[in-house]
Amino acid sequence: MNWEAFFAELPASLTECRVLFLDDFLNSSRRLVFWQTGTQNRIAVQLLLHKGCDQSRLQYWMPEPGDPPEDGIAVVCGVQPRSFWEDRTLALCHYDYPGDAAFYASVKGLCIQNDLPLPTSIHELSRGYALGAEKIAVCREEILRAWDTLADEKSREVLVELLKAAARPYYWNMDMHAENFGIPDPKRVSVLPRQAEFPSLPPGRILYALGEDFDGNFFSALPRSWLDRMLILCPGQTNRRLLRGWAAEQNVHLQILPEMPSDTDGYLLRQEKMFLGGTPLRPARRPVVIQCCKLDQITARTGPVMAVLLNLDDELENALAGAQQLLARRPLVLVQGFSSLEKAWQTINRMRTMFPDAGLQLQRVCTENILQGYFLTITPQ
Amino acid sequence: MKRATLRFHVYQQVLFQLDELLAQPGDTAFAKEIFCCGAKDLLADLELIRPTCWLEGADELRRCVQTGNVCPESVHRSLLDLRRSFCEKVEPQVLIDFIILRRTHWRVCELLARALMEEPGVHVRIVPVACLHELQDECGQAMQREVKRSGLAYFPFEEYDIETERPDIVVDNMAVDSAKEREFRALRIGNFTQRVVHLEHSVLTGYTEAMKAAYFRVGRSRCWQYLVPSKLFSSALPLIFRIDGNYLAVGTPEADVIYQSQQQKTESRQYRQILWDLDTLEPNRDVPEDHARLTRELDMIEQMAQRHPEVRSVVRPHPDFYNNQRCVPFAARFEQILRRYPETVTRDTHVQIYDTYREVDAMMTWMTSTTAFSFGMTGKPFMVMPGYVPGGYDTIMDMHLLHSLRVAYTLEDIDHFFAQISQGKDEGREERLRVLREYFGPDDGTASRTAARKILSVYYAAEQKGNQS
Q: Is the pLDDT of residue B181 over 60?
A: no
Q: What is the pLDDT of residues B213-231, one digit of tens each?
A: 443 333 334 567 878 777 7
pLDDT of residue B120: 92
Q: What is the mean pLDDT of residues A53-79?
A: 74
Enumerate residues 6+ apart whose C-beta is below 8 A from A27: none
Q: Is the pLDDT of residue A1 over 90?
A: no
Give, as one character, the DSSP assignment of residue B277.
E
pLDDT of residue B415: 94
SS3 label, residue B229: coil
Is the model more confident about B183 or about B274? B274
Banded model confidence at residue A161, pLDDT cuts 50, 70, 90: confident
Spell out which residues of chain A touch residue B34, defining contact as CB-CB under 8 Å. Answer: 255-257
Residue B51 CB burial class (10 angstroms; 0-12, 13-18, ≥19): exposed
Q: Is the pLDDT of residue B196 over 80?
A: yes
Report the distance separating Cα A6 and Cα B197, nearest Å: 41
Judged by a CB distance cut-off of 8 A, whether residue A258 touches chain B is yes
Which of A6-15, A117-126, A220-229 has the weakest average pLDDT?
A: A117-126
Q: Which of B13, B186, B218 sits opposite A371 (nearest CB)?
A: B218
Among B35, B41, B244, B320, the strongest candidate for a mutation testing the A interface, having the largest count of A CBs within 10 A, is: B41
Judged by a CB distance cut-off of 8 A, whether residue A371 touches chain B is yes
Spell out which residues of chain B touch residue A370, defining contact as CB-CB under 8 Å. Answer: 218-219, 221-222, 244
pLDDT of residue B311: 94
Taking CB atoms within 8 Å and a gap of at least 24, the contacts of B57-64 are B57/B81, B57/B82, B57/B83, B57/B84, B57/B85, B58/B82, B58/B85, B64/B39
Kindly state the helix (H) or strand (E) to which residue B60 belongs, with its residue range.
helix B58-67
pTM: 0.78
Enumerate residues 6+ apart whose C-beta is below 8 A from B15: B83, B86, B87
* Binary contact (B188, A241; C-beta < 8 A): no
Q: Please, which residues 75-114 of chain A have a Cβ atom closer than 8 Å to chain B?
A: 78, 94-96, 100, 102-103
pLDDT of residue B201: 53
Enumerate residues 6+ apart whose C-beta is below 8 A from B70: B26, B32, B35, B36, B64
Which of A205-209, A234-238, B151-155, B297-301 has the weakest average pLDDT?
A: A234-238
Size of interface A-B (CB pairs under 8 A): 129
Give, as one character, the DSSP assignment of residue B287.
P
Q: Which of A237, A251, A370 sits opposite B44 (nearest CB)?
A: A237
Give the per-residue SS3 of chain A. CCHHHHHHCCCHHHHCCEEECHHHHHHCCCCEEEECCCHHHHHHHHHHHHCCCCHHHEEEECCCCCCCCCCCEEEECCCCCHHHHCCCCEEECCCCCCCCHHHHHHHHHHHHHCCCCCCEEEHHHCCCCCCCHHHCCCCHHHHHHHHHHCCCHHHHHHHHHHHHHHHCCCHHHCCCCCCCCCCCCHHHCCCCCCCCCCCCCCCCEEEEEECCCCCHHHHHHCCHHHHCCEEEECCCHHHHHHHHHHHHHHCCCCEEECEEECCCCEEEEECCCEEECCEEECCCCCCEEEEEECHHHHHHHHCCEEEEEEECHHHHHHHHHCCHHHHHCCCEEEEECCCCCHHHHHHHHHHHHHCCCCEEEEEEEEECCEEEEEEEEEECC
Q: Is the pLDDT of residue B211 over 70?
A: no
pLDDT of residue B251: 82
Is the model more confident about B282 or about A33? A33
Name the maximum alpha-carbon separation found in chain A. Answer: 76
What are the angstrom distances between the C-alpha of A276 and each of A80, A348, B303?
Answer: 31, 24, 50
* Binary contact (A171, B215; C-beta < 8 A): yes
Has the ipTM of the complex gone over 0.85? no
Give, as one character, the DSSP assignment of residue B243.
-
Q: Which residues pair with A376 in a beta bridge?
A: A335, A362
Residue A234 CB burial class (10 angstroms; 0-12, 13-18, ≥19): buried
pLDDT of residue A120: 81
What are the angstrom distances between the C-alpha of B364 and each of B37, B277, B278, B337, B419?
Answer: 63, 6, 9, 17, 14
Spell out which residues of chain B touch residue A249, defining contact as CB-CB under 8 Å. Answer: 9, 463, 466-467
pLDDT of residue B263: 87
Q: Which of A213-227, B2-16, B154-168, B173-187 has the highest mean pLDDT?
A: B2-16
Judged by a CB distance cut-off of 8 A, whether residue A185 touches chain B is no
pLDDT of residue B217: 36
Spell out which residues of chain A touch residue B389, defining contact as CB-CB under 8 Å. Answer: 176, 181
Q: Is the pLDDT of residue B318 over 90?
A: no
Q: What is the pLDDT of residues A206-225, one digit of tens each?
A: 999 988 767 776 777 788 88
Which of A30-34, A58-62, A277-281, B147-151 has the weakest average pLDDT?
A: A277-281
Q: Is the pLDDT of residue B76 over 70?
A: yes
pLDDT of residue A206: 93
Among B28, B157, B218, the strongest candidate for a mutation testing the A interface, having the largest count of A CBs within 10 A, is: B218
* Residue B212 CA, distance from chain mean position: 17
Report the distance separating Cα B35 and Cα B47, nearest Å: 19
* Binary contact (B13, A248; C-beta < 8 A): yes
What are the angstrom distances between the C-alpha of A236 and each of A17, A224, A229, A241?
Answer: 36, 24, 21, 9
Enumerate residues 6+ apart whose C-beta is below 8 A from B226: B197, B198, B207, B234, B237, B243, B245, B246, B247, B248
* Binary contact (A95, B284; C-beta < 8 A): yes
- Residue B81: how many CB atoms within 10 A of its CB? 16
Q: Which of A50, A96, A277 sits opposite B217 (nearest CB)?
A: A277
Spell out which residues of chain A touch residue B220, defining contact as CB-CB under 8 Å. Answer: 277
Banded model confidence at residue A274, pLDDT cuts 50, 70, 90: very low
* Binary contact (A256, B220; C-beta < 8 A): no
pLDDT of residue B394: 62
Which of A54-63, A141-150, A293-302, B229-238 has the weakest average pLDDT?
A: B229-238
Spell out which residues of chain B touch residue A293, defining contact as CB-CB under 8 Å. Answer: none
Report the distance separating Cα A336 and Cα A373, nearest Å: 8
Q: Which of B17, B33, B188 sits opposite A257 (nearest CB)?
A: B33
Judged by a CB distance cut-off of 8 A, whether residue A213 touches chain B is no
The mean predicted confidence, pLDDT, of chain A is 77
pLDDT of residue B41: 92
pLDDT of residue B361: 94
pLDDT of residue B221: 42
* Binary contact (B218, A278; C-beta < 8 A): yes
